């Protein structure tokens, strides 16, 4: 997929209240300034038939958590986009994949990164299965790998600081509540 730029500081994100009701729109840049403004986001976890998870190392040019390891794909619905449209778009843009997704849960979190800004998101979490190798967008992703659940849990114990905060929160809940559904995909 090479070097297609797919993220823009001026793209309009969807501002929401605690119940995911739309209350306005703001640029991605403004949504991540200071403590952040609550906005919609999503995280996607792609497993293969060996139940290995595709994880990515975010590109080092990312404003927040560049070079950190994270879930397969994460982003934001843009103004006028539904979750299904946004997740399909972003999977294609970042990984070159077209995967049927299963919604798991939604949660709210806020996390600050150094003095560069914050995430303040109401994040919907999805899971899917694919054996297709990703076609990585090198402007978004520095590195990637498939990893077993056991090896990922080991890495999270030995190097938790190398992973994004949302990924750690999501993975804890996924492994506690949803692995049966994932294995059944």
pLDDT digits (tens, 9 = 90+) for 144-164: 999 999 999 999 999 999 999
12-184 adopts what CATH topology?
A: Nucleoside Triphosphate Pyrophosphohydrolase (3.90.79)
73: helix, strand or coil:
strand
Does 42 score more than 60 pLDDT? yes
Q: Any residues with CB less than 8 A from the CB of 115 and at least 6 apart, and which? A: none
pLDDT digits (tens, 9 = 90+) for 60-116: 999 999 999 999 999 999 999 999 999 999 999 999 999 999 999 999 999 999 999
Binning pLDDT at 50, 70 and 90, where does residue 10 land? confident
**Residues with catalytic roles:** 74, 121
Q: Any residues with CB less than 8 A from the CB of 34 and at least 6 apart, and which? A: 117, 118
Q: CA torsion 157→161→163→164, rounded to 10°?
A: 130
Write the DSSP symbol of residue 182: H
Give percent of the chain above pLDDT 90.
Answer: 94
Query: What's this model's pTM, rounded to 2 decimal places?
Result: 0.95
């Amino acid at each position: 997929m090479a070097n297609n730029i797919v993220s823009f500081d001026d793209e309009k994100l969807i501002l929401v209240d605690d119940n995911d009701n739309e209350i306005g729109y703001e640029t991605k840049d403004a949504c991540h300034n200071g403590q952040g403004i609550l906005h919609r986001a999503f995280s996607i976890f792609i497993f293969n038939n060996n139940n290995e998870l595709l994880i990515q190392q975010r590109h080092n040019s990312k404003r927040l958590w560049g070079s950190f390891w994270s879930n397969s794909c994460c982003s934001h619905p843009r103004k006028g986009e539904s979750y299904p449209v946004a997740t399909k778009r972003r999977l294609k843009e970042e990984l070159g994949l077209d995967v049927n997704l299963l919604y798991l849960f939604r949660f709210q979190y806020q996390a600050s990164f150094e003095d560069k800004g914050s995430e303040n998101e109401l994040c919907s979490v999805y899971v899917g299965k694919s054996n297709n190798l990703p076609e990585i967008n090198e402007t978004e992703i520095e590195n990637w790998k498939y990893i077993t659940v056991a090896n990922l849990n080991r890495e999270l114990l030995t190097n938790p600081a190398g992973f994004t905060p949302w990924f750690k929160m999501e993975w804890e809940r996924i492994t506690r509540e949803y692995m049966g559904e994932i294995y059944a995909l």
